[in-house]
């Protein structure tokens, strides 16, 4: 069944798909556990769509922002259509989650938002990658180019194996490239990162002004 589900997500456009049983989410913060959303959740299907490598070469600004946003729309489309197919084929309920916004948690002091669940952490629990020093997830085939979505399942499925880390020992490129010093090797200081990264230009279009931690990583495109 698990392989059939993986094939379904890939048929709908996902580049990768992994499964994490609910028992892997014991460390989720209160309010951000899958069962806080759907109490009958038994496992989580996590999937990823890669952005084109060329976006790293073209610069982060309007092009990067536009197509990174489209990727998130594509993730939500896959989650929605996969949920319908899963309910038809396997019974039970399937709950698609927004890949990014909207979400409710916002700490104005820290400029920190949290999705309904952490997609990055769910992807790691589903064996889709391991965290680098930038706090971005690194996948063996797609590096840090993946954005992630998830569907909560009533199906009790076994977890996929953990992924091996591909972050290079001793490498500090992401840490040293951050223009505002937002990275410490374990996470990102959003209060420093957000004002430098996201803003509107004079015309009112959203701009991604910085993606240096992604772009300088030697493993940005995987092994």
Burial of 61: CB neighbours in 10 Å, binned 0-12, 13-18, 19+: middle
Q: Do β-strands 94-97 and 146-153 pair in parallel, antiparallel, or remain unpaired? A: antiparallel
Asked if residues 155 and 90 have their Cβ atoms less than 8 Å apart, the reply is: yes
The whole model's pTM is what? Answer: 0.94
Q: What is the pLDDT of residue 61?
A: 83
* pLDDT of 5 above 90: yes
* Residue 218 contacts residue 133 (beta carbons within 8 Å): no
Q: How many CA atoms lie within 13 A of 14 on its CB side?
A: 28
Q: Which range, of 85-89, 94-98, 104-108, 177-181, averages the lowest pLDDT?
A: 104-108
pLDDT at 161: 98
Given a contact cutoff of 8 angstroms between Cβ atoms, the answer to whether 94 and 19 are in contact is no
Q: Are 48 and 146 in contact, with CB atoms under 8 Å apart?
A: yes
| Res 154: pLDDT | 97
pLDDT band at 59 (very low <50, low <70, confident <90, very high): confident
Q: Which residues of 28-60 are buried (b: 16+ CB within 10 A; e: fewer)?
A: beeebbbeeebeebbbbbbbbbbbeeebbeeeb
Residue 86 confidence (pLDDT): 98
Inform me whether the pLDDT recorded for 201 exceeds 90: no
* Confidence band, pLDDT 50/70/90 cuts, at residue 191: very high
Phi, psi dihedrals of residue 217, rounded to the nearest 5°: -65, 125
Predicted local distance difference test score (pLDDT) of residue 57: 86
Mean pLDDT of the chain: 95
Residue 77 sits at φ, ψ, to 5 deg, of -65, -45
Report the range of poorest mean pLDDT among 49-53, 60-64, 192-196.
Answer: 60-64
């Amino acid at each position: 069944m698990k392989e059939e589900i993986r094939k379904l997500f890939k048929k709908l456009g996902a580049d990768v798909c992994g499964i994490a049983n609910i028992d892997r989410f014991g460390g989720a913060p209160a309010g951000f556990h899958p069962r806080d959303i759907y109490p009958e959740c038994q496992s989580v299907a996590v999937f990823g769509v890669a952005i084109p490598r060329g976006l790293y070469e073209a610069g982060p600004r309007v092009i990067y922002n536009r197509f990174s946003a489209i990727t998130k729309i594509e993730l939500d489309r896959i989650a929605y259509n996969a949920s319908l197919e899963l309910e038809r084929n396997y019974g039970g309920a399937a709950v698609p989650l927004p890949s990014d916004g909207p979400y409710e948690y916002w700490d104005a002091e820290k400029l920190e938002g949290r999705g309904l669940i952490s997609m990055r952490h769910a992807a790691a629990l589903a064996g889709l990658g391991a965290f680098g020093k930038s706090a971005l997830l690194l996948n063996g085939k797609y590096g840090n180019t993946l954005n992630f979505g998830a569907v909560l399942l009533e199906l009790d499925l076994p977890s996929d194996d953990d992924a091996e880390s591909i972050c290079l020992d001793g490498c500090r490129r992401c840490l040293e490239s951050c223009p505002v010093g937002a990275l410490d090797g374990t996470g990102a200081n959003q209060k420093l990162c957000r004002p430098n990264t996201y803003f509107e230009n004079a015309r009112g279009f959203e701009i991604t002004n910085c993606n240096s931690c992604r772009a300088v990583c030697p493993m940005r495109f995987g092994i």
